[in-house]
Amino acid sequence: MGKLFNNRTGIMFILLLAIAFPLVFADNRYVLYIMTTCFIFIIAVYGMNLLAGFTGQLSLAHAGFFAIGAYSVGILTTRYELNFWLALLVAMVITCVAGLLLGVIALRTREHFFAIYTLIVGYLIYLLIDKWDSLTGGVRGLIGIPVPDAIGPIEFTSATSMYYLVLFFLVISIFIGVRIVHSLTGRTYIAIRNSEELAQTLGINTRTNKLVSFVVSIAYAGLAGGLYASLTRFIGPEIAGLEMVFNFLIYLIVGGLGTLTGPIVGTMIFVWLTQFLQSFQEYRMLIFGPILVMIVIFYPAGLAGAYFSLKIKFDEARKKRATKQEQKNSLESSKIQSREVS
């Protein structure tokens, strides 16, 4: 799998699979719907990964910003009857501005304090949505969010068209994420993650870099939220809740914190697993909770990380075997040579 993602044909193959998916399940709206939700969550988790995995700042406010994106789209389209595309744009601006404001303050705190601060801001967003009845509809939520407006002849009324729309955004999100990580900026983030003091000594402006990384990461959450609102057509305050951010965290950690494939693998596995365990829904955390703990203890880099480290070990072993073989060969040939000489 790692090999697939490393070369161009592999990526093309997976992309083709994703494109062909609705053709296989054309008549199964349920499967398409779950897959589309899965893609939306991947976008959000990708954002979280950029911040937590690469810059090393664990923000627990992401469900809050996911909800801000969703509610912005919901309120703008239902109450002000704004065009979906415009609403999505405005929603992203709103989330980014909110993220910038929070980031300026929150990033003054470090490590544990940052996590606690963002956890509480996230919870505050949940409380606000829950209590601010006149704007958000409170516990009843927002109903009747329209599907995205048609672009020319393309309409987004069917499950298949929604699937392709979200896939489009997912591919762009991943592309941007990968480009960021492989750029100098990405290296800068990793330097900050590994040691903030050292990065500062190298002349990196850690404050600006952390802030930019934070806002980009929030933008992912906002985009995912906006798409989620128009996919489900109904949103309630629980999308800002602790459960949501913990879900994102599980997807990320099990998939692989700080890896590019991790968020995809983790989200896919868990969203589908949750579907299969539907009857078990309420108690699934009895299993997922301990899995999270064990992954953190035994495989800190998640499934993707475990795969890569296994692969490195395997490659090294093969190389060692190869060199040994070579030595043996050269030894034998020299023996033969010496025999011939004598």
Partner 1 sequence: MELLFQQLLNGLTLGSVYFLVGIGLTLVFGILHVPNFAHGSLYLIGGYVTLMIMKSAGVHYFIAILLSIIVVALLAVLMERLVFNPLRNAPPIHDKIAAIGLVLFFQAFVSLVWGNDYHRMITPFGDAVKIAGISTSPQRLLVIAVAVIVVVLLYLFLKKTMIGASIMAMAQNRDGAFLVGINTNIVAMMTFAISGVLAAIAASLASPINLVFPGMGHLVILKAFVVVIIGGMGSIPGAIIGGLILGISESLGATYLSNDYKDMIAFLLLILIMTARPKGLFAKEAY
Positions that interact with partner 1 (CB under 8 A): 52, 56, 58, 105-106, 108-113, 115-117, 119-121, 123-124, 127-128, 131, 242, 246, 249-250, 253, 257, 282-286, 288-293, 296-297, 300
Q: How far is the CB of 39 from partner 1 (least distance, A)?
A: 24
Which one, 25 or 299, has the nearer CB to partner 1? 299
In sequence order, the 6+-apart residues with CB closer than 8 A to the CB of 57 are: 51, 107, 114, 210, 213, 214
Which one, 118 or 230, has the nearer CB to partner 1? 118
Beta bridge partners of 154: 151
Q: How far is the CB of 60 from partner 1 (least distance, A)?
A: 8
Q: How far is the CB of 226 from partner 1 (least distance, A)?
A: 26
Which one, 120 or 172, has the nearer CB to partner 1? 120
Q: How far is the CB of 56 from partner 1 (least distance, A)?
A: 7
Give the alpha-carbon dihedral of 228, 171, 121, 212, to 10 degrees.
-150
- In angstroms, rounded to a whole number, what is the distance separating the alpha carbons of residues 234 and 137? 11
Distance of CA 44 to the CA centre of its chain: 5
Q: How far is the CB of 329 from partner 1 (least distance, A)?
A: 44
Nearest residue to 224 (alpha-carbon basis) of 275, 278, 185, 177? 177
Q: How far is the CB of 187 from partner 1 (least distance, A)?
A: 19
Alpha-carbon dihedral sign for residues 245, 247, 248, 253: positive
**131: number of Cβ within 10 Å:** 12
Cα dist from 93 to 97, 226, 240, whole Å? 6, 11, 18
Contact between 238 and 136 (Cβ < 8 Å): no
- In angstroms, rounded to a whole number, what is the distance separating the alpha carbons of residues 217 and 96? 9
Which one, 111 or 155, has the nearer CB to partner 1? 111
Q: How far is the CB of 123 from partner 1 (least distance, A)?
A: 6
Which one, 127 or 135, has the nearer CB to partner 1? 127
CA angle 58, 60, 64 (to 5 degrees): 145
Which one, 69 or 302, has the nearer CB to partner 1? 302
Check residue 149 and report its DSSP letter: P
Which one, 196 or 228, has the nearer CB to partner 1? 196
